[in-house]
């Protein structure tokens, strides 16, 4: 059977690349070696005028041999012509591969079997081997085309051009003229215009207009999202409402759509264990069965066990049946289909190996902030120590945090911005991961962060007996007060945990740098089995190592969104990143990306992975079962060439059709 290609996009241009091999190359389905294959998309080249002539000659020749009283050479000539026409591409490919030293592939098996059938006078069977092999290849390509189209649709989410406005000159009515430019030439900070029905070309911040944005291509969500000025929009989304104007936040190569396409392209190179096993299996299996078929055809008649014609026929039937196409084709297609199906639901899997590992997950470790909670903090209260006012505490904290991108820092800055007062001169800003920040604000040394930071600096602080995040502030070594910041739990976090447990996930763990009181409250409300709080990034990795060393509950997945989660994501058996709002470092380190940031989508990812694994097992059982049975029948002389063709082409087609279900 033919190999599987996938169209990928590089620098805005479509190219063909092997879905399960190095770029531009594919793996031979029988010899499992890399070489180039040439076949038309979805088998359309089979129904050419020449092939139709070949099929017509086969029908006439078959009728002439069995139903019409003609001289023997007439039917032979018709069938021989049909054979050469229909099998010409198989002969060409077999010759090319033999030149490369790749003898034992499906083309070689078909050529030997059909030529052997001609030699012993089974002319219709010889043509049938080629004909049904080519028809099976056609239907296989049609089936595989469904998975290929799902990836091609993904490649279309990134527009090549953008409408760029001249520099804004005033109010919303005074935008400049829009000019169409290549999206890759648009710089960060430029203003773009997205027309109704148009696709967002670059990640941007809405500055004018309001309407609905269709995010289905990115997140799998069918409901549109309302956007207004101040909201972020992602490349690849479709503007379903009014005219929008937005400021570009990321370059073309760093946009969400580009990242998705890059992930989809790279996913095909990471094979699951079952794929690697089948590749190695085919390299050993195919030469063995060829030698066995040769022995079956030659040894019994030499030993007087029967006529040559009978045993040669058995060997040829055995040779056709033995082709491992169904295994070597259907397993990559299963994982490929699973990856494509997951992407249509806003779940990006970077390779078949990660999909396979996800299907075996027994423990899931969650980060808290931005993963189970919204990560959008707000200042709930401010407490000032003696000698300071609440305004002083807020001012010093906002100034110290002014260079930080942490969600807590942003919430403090936003609260201070409500006062519309400028910040004092701030310099020497240093951020200490897991602790907080230090800076010189108006000539005074300010430290701002956790209780551990105060302890490390020898500052006596007030205990805040409240279930929330507390940011302590000290000025010139004196405690100034603290800011109480709250973060809301995501609406579907509790459902995510319950759905995972319903799917047999034996253990859920939450790791956070937040206070134990806050962490315990969140963990209890969500039904998390274990909660570890007050952790630094290195502490999280250490606890993860202990969880993985336990090994009692299968593989371990980590779910996170921040740059501080990247080490955990990279260390886990499966790293799952929240890709919509998550950091680039987290997305890069992760193996699976949830594009809509919804924890409940993790259960859907597990479903896709497990379904794909079931289909792989089904295909292995189908292929080995049917082929084994027909090979045995061939040895004892019961199976004929027609049954052999079904056991090869038919089973391969059934396996591929079954594999395509993984993409649903």
Residues assigned a catalytic role: 367
Pairing of strands 555-560, 574-578: parallel
Q: Which residue, 211, 182, 218, 217, is CA-closest to 194?
A: 211
Query: How many of the other CB atoms lie within 10 Å of CB of 200?
Result: 28
Per the listing, tokens 């031979």 go with 28
Interacting residues of 146 by C-beta distance below 8 A, sequence separation 6+: 337, 660, 663
What the block records as the tokens of 375 is 């990560």
Tell me the C-alpha to C-alpha distance, in Å, between residue 552 and each of 198, 202, 359, 557, 589. 50, 45, 16, 14, 25
Per the listing, tokens 């092999």 go with 133
Cα–Cα distance measured from residue 330 to residue 443, given in angstroms and rounded to the nearest whole number: 69
Question: How would you class 187 by CB atoms within 10 Å of its CB: exposed for 0-12, middle for 13-18, buried for 19 or more?
Answer: exposed
Cα–Cα distance measured from residue 192 to residue 249, given in angstroms and rounded to the nearest whole number: 11
Pairing of strands 347-349, 592-594: antiparallel
Cβ atoms 660, 144 nearer than 8 A: yes
Task: Give the DSSP letter of residue 359.
Answer: T
Interacting residues of 204 by C-beta distance below 8 A, sequence separation 6+: 192, 232, 233, 246, 247, 248, 249
Cα–Cα distance measured from residue 657 to residue 654, given in angstroms and rounded to the nearest whole number: 5
């Amino acid at each position: 059977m033919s190999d599987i290609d996938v169209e990928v996009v590089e620098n805005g241009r479509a190219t063909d690349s092997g879905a399960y091999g190095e770029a531009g190359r594919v793996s031979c389905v029988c010899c499992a070696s890399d070489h180039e294959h040439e076949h038309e998309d979805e088998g359309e080249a089979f129904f050419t005028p020449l092939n139709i002539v070949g099929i017509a000659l086969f029908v006439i020749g078959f009728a002439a041999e069995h139903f019409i009283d003609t001289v023997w050479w007439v039917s032979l000539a018709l069938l021989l012509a049909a054979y050469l026409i229909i099998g010409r591409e198989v002969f060409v490919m077999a010759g090319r591969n033999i030149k490369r030293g790749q003898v034992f592939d499906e083309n070689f098996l078909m050529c030997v079997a059909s030529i052997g059938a001609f030699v012993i006078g089974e002319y219709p069977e010889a043509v049938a081997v080629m004909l049904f092999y080519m028809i099976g290849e056609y239907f296989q390509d049609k089936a595989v085309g469904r998975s290929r189209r799902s990836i091609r649709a993904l490649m279309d989410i990134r527009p090549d051009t953008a409408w760029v406005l001249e520099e804004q000159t005033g109010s919303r009515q005074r935008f400049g003229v829009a000019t169409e430019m290549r999206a890759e030439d648009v710089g960060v900070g430029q203003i773009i215009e997205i027309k109704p029905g148009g696709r967002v070309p670059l990640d941007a911040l809405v500055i004018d207009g309001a309407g609905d944005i269709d995010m289905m291509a990115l997140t799998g969500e069918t409901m549109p999202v309302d956007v207004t000025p101040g909201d972020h929009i992602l490349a690849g989304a479709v503007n379903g409402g009014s005219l929008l104007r937005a400021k570009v936040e990321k370059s073309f190569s760093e946009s969400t759509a580009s990242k998705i396409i890059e992930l989809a392209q790279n996913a095909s190179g990471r094979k699951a264990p079952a794929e690697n096993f089948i590749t190695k299996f085919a390299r050993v299996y195919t030469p063995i069965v060829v030698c066995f078929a040769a022995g079956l055809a030659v040894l019994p008649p030499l030993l007087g066990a029967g006529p040559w014609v009978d045993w040669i026929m058995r060997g040829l039937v055995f040779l056709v049946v033995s082709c491992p196409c169904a295994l070597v084709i259907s397993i990559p297609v299963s994982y490929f289909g699973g990856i494509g199906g997951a992407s249509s639901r806003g779940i990006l899997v970077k390779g078949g190996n990660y999909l396979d590992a996800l299907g075996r997950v027994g423990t899931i470790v969650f980060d808290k902030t931005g993963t189970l909670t919204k990560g959008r903090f707000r200042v709930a209260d401010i407490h000032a120590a003696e000698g300071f006012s609440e305004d002083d505490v807020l001012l010093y904290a906002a100034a110290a945090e002014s260079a930080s991108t942490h969600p807590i820092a942003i919430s403090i800055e936003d609260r201070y911005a409500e006062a519309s007062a400028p910040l004092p001169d701030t310099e020497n800003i240093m951020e200490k991961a897991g602790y907080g920040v230090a800076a010189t604000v108006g000539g005074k040394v300010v430290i701002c962060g956790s209780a551990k930071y105060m302890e490390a600096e020898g500052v006596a602080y007030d205990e805040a007996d409240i279930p929330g995040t507390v940011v302590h502030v000290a000025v010139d070594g004196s405690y100034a007060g603290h800011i109480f910041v709250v973060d809301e739990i995501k609406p579907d976090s509790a459902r995510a945990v319950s759905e995972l447990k319903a799917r047999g996930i034996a253990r859920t763990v939450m790791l956070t740098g937040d206070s134990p009181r806050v962490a315990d409250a969140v963990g209890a409300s969500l039904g998390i089995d274990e909660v570890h709080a007050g952790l630094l990034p290195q502490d999280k990795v250490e606890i993860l190592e202990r969880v993985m060393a336990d090994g009692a509950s299968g593989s371990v997945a980590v779910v996170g969104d921040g740059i501080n989660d990247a080490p955990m994501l990279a260390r886990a058996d499966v790293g799952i990143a929240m890709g919509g709002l998550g950091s680039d470092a987290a997305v890069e380190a992760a193996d699976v990306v949830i594009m809509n940031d919804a924890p409940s989508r993790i259960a859907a990812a597990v479903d896709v992975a497990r379904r794909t694994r079931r289909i792989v097992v089904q295909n292995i059982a189908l292929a080995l079962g049917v082929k084994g049975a027909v090979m045995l029948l061939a040895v004892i002389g019961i199976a004929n060439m027609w049954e052999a063709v079904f056991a090869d082409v038919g089973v391969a087609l059934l396996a591929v059709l079954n594999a395509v279900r993984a993409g649903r």
